[in-house]
């Protein structure tokens, strides 16, 4: 996942150069979607298992853990993809794209799996 994110960053910075220095309305929309992606990953990791634990007693802890990991990685990777879209699609300022890359890769590192729970 991290290598994929770094590949996205490399391709985006190699093939698209942004010359704009100011933010436009689409840039704010990309930042809002980035915040939504990060919030979704946090909510799914922290709140969802406790909130729906009673409804998911059939699901094993190992399966629940793998679902949480998959969704968290997807949300973190989507932040990097939003940075690629901002850079290549919108021509956003490079500081915005680079900060989205850094946030996405940082979340990929933070969401790294610790250990898989034992199957019940």
For the stretch 18-41, pLDDT in tens is 667 778 888 888 899 999 998 988
What does the alpha-carbon distance between residue 52 and residue 47 come to, in Å, rounded to a whole number? 9
Residue 60: C-alpha distances to residues 6, 50, 67, 119 (Å): 33, 14, 11, 6
14 vs 111 pLDDT, higher one: 111
For the entire predicted model, the pTM comes to 0.76
What does the alpha-carbon distance between residue 13 and residue 84 come to, in Å, rounded to a whole number? 8
Q: What is the pLDDT of residues 59-77, one digit of tens each?
A: 677 777 788 888 888 988 9
What does the alpha-carbon distance between residue 78 and residue 8 come to, in Å, rounded to a whole number? 11
Query: Which pLDDT value is given to residue 102?
Result: 92
Query: Which pLDDT value is given to residue 8?
Result: 74
Query: Which pLDDT value is given to residue 13?
Result: 72
For Cα atoms 23, 27, 33, give the angle at the middle one, nearest 5 degrees: 150
Q: What is the pLDDT of residues 72-116, one digit of tens each?
A: 889 889 999 898 888 888 888 888 888 999 999 999 888 887 776
């Amino acid at each position: 996942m991290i290598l994929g994110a770094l590949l996205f960053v490399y391709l985006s910075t190699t093939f698209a150069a942004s010359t704009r220095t100011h933010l436009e309305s689409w840039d704010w929309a990309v930042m809002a979607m980035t915040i939504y992606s990060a919030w979704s990953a946090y909510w799914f990791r922290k709140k969802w298992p406790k909130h729906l634990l009673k409804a998911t007693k059939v699901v094993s802890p190992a399966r629940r853990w793998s679902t949480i990991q998959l969704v968290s990685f997807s949300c973190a990777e989507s932040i990097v993809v939003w940075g690629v879209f901002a850079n290549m699609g919108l021509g956003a300022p490079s500081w915005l794209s680079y900060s989205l890359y850094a946030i996405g890769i940082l979340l990929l590192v933070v969401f790294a799996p610790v250990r898989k729970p034992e199957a019940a």
